[in-house]
Structure 1
Amino acid sequence: MTAARLPSLDALLAFEACARLGSFEAAGGELALTASAIAKRLAGLEERLGQELLSRSTKGLSLTPTGHEYLPQVRQALALLQAIPLHQRASQQRERLRVSSTPTFARQVLVPALPGFTAAHPHIELELTLSVPLLAEGDAGADAEIRHGAVPGDIAPAQVLLHDRLTPLASPTLLAKHAPLQTRADLLALPLLRTPLQPWAPWLQAAGLADAAEPDEGPRFVDLGLTLAAALAGQGVALARLSLARHELADGRLVQPYALTVPAERQYGLICHRASAATEAFAAWLHAHCATLAENSSATA
């Protein structure tokens, strides 16, 4: 029986962090290594596999087709290793941390990055629950809450996680069915998706279309993630946050037809309800992760 070409655990951790964070520097910061050490571990992994996993460019790192296929397998393997009881330090007391989050932020920003938090803080058992922003229904038992609201009314400036910008996003399929968008006014010929969480007025005014009315036809989505899903399905154009749609933009499932963006009036913020070492660790990690996302977005803009 031929022995499998098993890579080192350190190399797999480096690959997962690079794929998630988009740069050697960010991955090194998370794993307490230099960018050079991370790059060497990734290069060694690719040499062992005989396949390129991440493309290097001035804009950062991006998954190759092989990397896209390999990443979920690596994450599954790491999760299994972390779950083995003998890998848990008996001397460490596990501390439970309950975090409540809006659905879209949890799905698009938080959950993909959780392996990094678990690797850095294996003694913290994070429990994630969802809230309903429009109905103001949160988790009364949560230690920390990711809230979508006005600044400084609902969220203090220091609690803001991402300073989001809004712009129309559409699927290539939808755009192919209509005449090319040559002016901003041409957008009004397409179906505009609507949600009470984000009116179109700020972008329309900045685009010189202040006289255009809010869309009043079609489904009304009480969730930003559902609006993105409808845009991906070609049902209309979403006024979306670039931070939430970065994956869909990177792989071409959504297109940004106009360069014009406007700041969001409501932001995502982290509110800590109970002080503890676990809460402080999670807050520091999430703010750092969101800062990295913001840096990567500005670098590719």
Structure 2
Amino acid sequence: MPARPIRLPSLDALLAFEAVARAGSFEAAAAELALSASAVAKRVAGLEERLDQPLFLRQPPRGLSLTPAGHEYLPQVRQALALLQAMPLHQRSGPQRERLRVSSTPTFARQLLVPALPGFGAAQPHIELELTLSVPLLAEGDAGADVEIRHGAVPDGIAPEQVLLRDRLTPLAAPALLAGHGPLREPADLLALPLLRTPLQPWAPWLRAAGLADTPEPDEGPRFVDLGLTLAAALAGQGVALARLSLARHELAEGRLVQPFALAVPAERHYGLVTHRPSPAAEAFAAWLHGHCRALENSSGAA
């Protein structure tokens, strides 16, 4: 009788299976592997097809659980991966590092990107990331950047598939500022307070949704050409900022800013990621950043 053909799966598929089994979801495994959740799911599905065996039970909303075949297969896969990792040729010191230059708008970099970079570094230790800042309103970017985080309209500034965050806007203020005024019972009461202004985010969308469409844009006080500076002014008690929930999530959680009204409206401008020089490092960063931003949307209610 002819020998049965050996059905060897790919190493990427085995790594994806082991990560999902350990993390408990495609999303958590994707963050660890610096891939998209759909890419991890496809690798696992391809492995199941090759083995002609389901390895996970998909039971929303409870998530994933191993099938009997998955339980039997998992220790075998872990043993095989451990053997591969123990081989001396796989433990060469000083792996070549790939440099990736990322240009970002200042507030996105400070509020969202930099705090999360340790996670990217742990997942992609061979990538040396260099971060530079751009000025959105002046269209001054980094000509040498491999990837660029932009702030603009869709689809004029960034393509829909490049969008990182679809934010919601709401007024935010320091507790001390609100304590010095009467109670805010309805949106019109907000007009008694100084409204901070920035050309990057006019008040019109929120005022319109609040039934105050006839209210003109604020024309007094400093004009901040940076969303982070607007937040800083709000934190200092200088006025009320129309802010993005994703950018102010830490300040809200710590009570340094408060949300006087539940009304929040979709932002008309979004953050997007544009790749100028495609490479494996750029692809890995893009997958990680999109996953990070999806997690932010889910946790902060930005979308």
Secondary structure at the residue paired with 2:178? helix
Q: Tell me what 1:178 maps to.
A: 181
Secondary structure at the residue paired with 1:294? helix
Which amino acid in the other structure matches residue 264 of structure 2? T
State the structure with more CA Rg. Answer: 2
Aligned residues: 223
Which one of the candidate residues 127, 130, 134 is aligned to 2:130?
Answer: 127
Which one of the candidate residues 267, 274, 279 is aligned to 1:276?
Answer: 279
Which amino acid in the other structure matches residue 258 of structure 1? F
With over 3 angstroms needed to count, the CA separation of the structure-2 counterparts of 1:152 and 1:178, relative to structure 1, is same
Return the offset for 1:298: 3.0
Question: What TM-score, normalized to structure 1?
Answer: 0.71
Return the offset for 1:91: 5.4
Which one of the candidate residues 110, 115, 120 is aligned to 1:117?
Answer: 120
CA–CA distance in structure 1, aligned partners of residues 285 and 260 of structure 2: 36
Which one of the candidate residues 237, 252, 257 is aligned to 2:255?
Answer: 252
Which amino acid in the other structure matches residue 102 of structure 1? T
8 A Cα contact 2:31 2:291, kept in partner: no
Which one of the candidate residues 132, 153, 156 is aligned to 1:153?
Answer: 156
CA–CA distance in structure 1, aligned partners of residues 28 and 238 of structure 2: 37
Q: Tell me what 2:145 maps to.
A: 142
Secondary structure at the residue paired with 1:278? helix
CA–CA distance in structure 1, aligned partners of residues 237 and 94 of structure 2: 53
CA–CA distance in structure 2, aligned partners of residues 170 and 297 of structure 1: 17
CA-to-aligned-CA distance 1:31-55 (integer Å, 9 cap, x gap): 46xxxxxxxxxxxxxxxxxxxxxxx
Q: Does 1:107 align with 2:103?
A: no
CA-to-aligned-CA distance 1:261-289 (integer Å, 9 cap, x gap): 11111000000001100000000000000
Question: What TM-score, normalized to structure 2?
Answer: 0.71
Return the offset for 1:29: 5.1
Q: Which runs of 5+ in 2 are unaligned?
A: 1-22, 34-90
Secondary structure at the residue paired with 1:193? coil
With over 3 angstroms needed to count, the CA separation of the structure-2 counterparts of 1:137 and 1:182, relative to structure 1, is same
Return the offset for 1:105: 0.1
CA-to-aligned-CA distance 1:129-177 (integer Å, 9 cap, x gap): 0000010000000000000001000100000000001000001000000
Q: Tell me what 1:196 maps to.
A: 199
CA–CA distance in structure 2, aligned partners of residues 89 and 203 of structure 1: 57
8 A Cα contact 2:31 2:292, kept in partner: no
Which amino acid in the other structure matches residue 225 of structure 2? V
